Amino acid sequence: MRRVSGVILVTQQPAPRAGSAQAPTLFLNHKPGLGSSERTYLLSRNLHFSCTPNTLRLAHYALAFFNARAPIASPRSPAPRLTRPAPYKKPVVMNLFKILSASSLLWLAGCATTSLTDPTHPTGPGSNTTAPSRWFNPGVKPAVPGGELQPIATTQLRSTSVAALAPPLDLWERIRSGYAMPDLSNDLVTDREQWYSSRADYMLRMTERSRKYMFHIVEELERRNMPSELALLPFIESAFNPQAVSSAKAAGMWQFMPATGKYFELKQNMFRDDRRDVLASTKAALDYLQKLHRMFGDWHLALAAYNWGEGSVSRAIAKNKRAGLGTAYTDLTMPMETRMYVPKLQAVKNIVGRPQAFNSSLPLIGNHPFFETVDIKRDIDVAVAAKLAEVSLADFKALNPSISRPVIMAAGTPQILLPWDNAGIFQSNLETYAGGQLASWTVWVAPATLKTADVAQKVGMSEDELRSVNNIPPRVLIKKGSSLLVHRSQRLDKDVSGHVADYGQLSLAPEIILKRRVLKAGKKDTVASVAQRYAVSAQSIADWNKTGASAKFKPGQQIVLFLPASTRVEAPQRKLSDGKAGAAHAKGRATAKTPAKAKTGKSQARAKPAKTVKVVKK
């Protein structure tokens, strides 16, 4: 503090209001060269001192001595007229003054705090600590508090947790520090703790798989202010295997059902399944968990709904309410899988929190990103992308598990994940790539319903390869509009469009083996009537018999049909001269004039069983 000449006034802030924990504050006010009729302003921009009574008394007299003959204002009487003090003539006194002043100011420096607030207004948690600029205006006259000086109250300082200067090096420690869910403690938790801790190899495989994805999940949880133990949920769902598929068709690291995945905009087509995508599925899972937590207000119930369904949990809660029972997770009646769901997560949480207590060890996972996103602008083969990134094909697929075909379509998958150190390598190698086209595959859309062999012939591939690449089972037809992955050629050399990449599907129909059948036409048979009888188109029958679709068949004329082998064909009717007799024959009856004759041999074997006929003799 620089030495200034003039008048120094030692005052004390008024006593705080009742119930306030604020301690009185000492103010050192100074304004050089002014009389007592003018108020002063705070020395050195409102320098505040919160001190003990002894320190206050020492400062009072030391600063008065600093101005020698300057009077000390009494709070009970008006301040006397202050004049500029006469200079000292003896240098010894001045030296003594300097020493004493320096000592006093050093003593006070230990409890000094700067403030930018108005000295006439108390500060506190609810007040605005930023002072307007008018408090620095020398023309403003702050009020001098009245009353006797009061001892300054002492306060107890409370220390809170101190944030670490550097983040933890181990990601497990970061997860432990973010635990926020209430603990569950029961026999089921103990049982699962023993189960997991006794299978060290299984735990090691799971934790090693999680190394690629855990940092991203923890980052997303912290960004959303969600409990960090939710990062352990894929241990329970899929053992951190993004290719896992359950018996109920749930897929991916977070095990989304097809309908739930579509609700959260996870694309599912023949080229990719975003339920397996690391970024998309994690976002959808956390969105879903937040939605369930808002719905039930409890993380255990939210987890039960994630496993069992929100509707099932809501019905179980309503049932317990009607029965006057509790509605907590442990009070509900639920399937055994859901009953064990939260205890499993709690057991893994306990093992991660205290691995030594369970005689377990966790592999070191660094608290840093494992992968980086890389944009792609053109279609590229998976093998080519892995080669340019200088990573193994298995590692590439582990980071990009949603890609189910040998080509990455830029229109549908504009980003890929690569190990952090390999992302730059990929970009550099891609810029200097001179190996020809990046993609050797494209998509062909079927113009009509075709056999697999016919499609293979059209696109220049073998039938076996076409079936293998597109997962086409035997004895099916490829329906019109189906999207098929085929080799690129000069005729098919374009990148896949965004619509096909997002919505391409393979539609199949059972392949029916047709058998040639020949039957004789009846008296009134036409092309249309035969087509209706055997559920085929009239045009097909006309083509098979080289006639028109509106033509009539002559009685006894041979009709050629191509029908499935399982279709039964009616036996041709015999031509009868009498209409009534023809009707009787159609009904399988015989009259007295024309008794039924016994049939033998092959003819008898093909005939239908005849009804019993009573012959009347005359």
The residues that are catalytic are 237
Q: Which of 101, 25, 36 is nearest to 67 (CA)?
A: 101
**What phi, psi does 541 have (nearest 5°)?**
-65, -40
Question: Do 179 and 351 contact (CB within 8 A), yes or no?
Answer: no
Rg (CA), the chain: 46
Partnered with residue 444 across adjacent β-strands are 484
For 575, the token pair is: 């031509």
Of the chain, the end-to-end C-alpha distance in Å amounts to 151
Partnered with residue 114 across adjacent β-strands are 47
Give CA–CA dist 544/538, Å, rounded. Answer: 10
Give CA–CA dist 189/195, Å, rounded. Answer: 10
- CB atoms < 10 A from the CB of 595, how many? 10
Going by DSSP bridges, is the β-strand pair 514-520/558-564 parallel, antiparallel, or unpaired?
Answer: antiparallel
Give CA–CA dist 144/7, Å, rounded. Answer: 15
Question: Do 384 and 374 contact (CB within 8 A), yes or no?
Answer: no
Site of tokens 């975003």? 274
Give CA–CA dist 518/27, Å, rounded. Answer: 118
Question: Do 212 and 232 contact (CB within 8 A), yes or no?
Answer: no
- Which conformational region is residue 80 in: left (phi greater than 0), alpha (psi within -120 to 50 degrees), or beta? beta
